[in-house]
């Protein structure tokens, strides 16, 4: 198991994620957020959502998950508040 956070190295999210991963001894990586999303990214993200999730934000989240495949991960999990989204990319 490993962790990933997207955003600037100085962002509070990145700093807290690094501290949590370090506390639990988990491998951790930080990636830059993909901005802005192009039309194809938005179209792909819309298909993966129910239309209520912000498609611009999810396009960036989906790009992070695709990056996990390139890093050799078999499964990627996204959590935010009460939302839990699992994706398996083949």
CA distance 30 to 7: 7
Reduced 3-state DSSP string for 11-27: CHHHHHHHHHHHHHCCC
Boundaries of domain holding 68: 34-90
Contact call for residues 31 and 6 (beta carbons, < 8 A): yes
Q: How many domains does the chain have?
A: 2
Mean pLDDT of 81-85: 36
Q: What is the pLDDT of residue 30?
A: 85
Q: Three-state SS for 42?
A: helix
CA distance 79 to 33: 16
Q: Three-state SS for 30?
A: strand
Q: Are residues 62 and 85 in the same domain?
A: yes
Q: Are residues 66 and 22 in the same domain?
A: no
Q: Give the predicted TM-score (pTM) of the model.
A: 0.58
What is the tens place of the pLDDT at every residue in 55-69? 888 888 888 777 777
CA distance 54 to 68: 21
């Amino acid at each position: 198991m490993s962790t990933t956070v997207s955003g600037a190295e100085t962002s509070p999210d990145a700093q807290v994620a690094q501290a949590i991963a370090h506390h639990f001894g988990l491998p951790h990586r930080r990636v830059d957020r993909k901005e802005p999303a192009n039309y194809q990214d938005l179209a792909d993200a819309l298909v993966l959502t129910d239309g209520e999730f912000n498609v611009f934000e999810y396009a960036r989240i989906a790009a992070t998950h695709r990056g996990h495949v390139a890093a050799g991960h078999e499964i990627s999990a996204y959590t935010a508040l009460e939302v839990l989204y699992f994706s398996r990319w083949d």
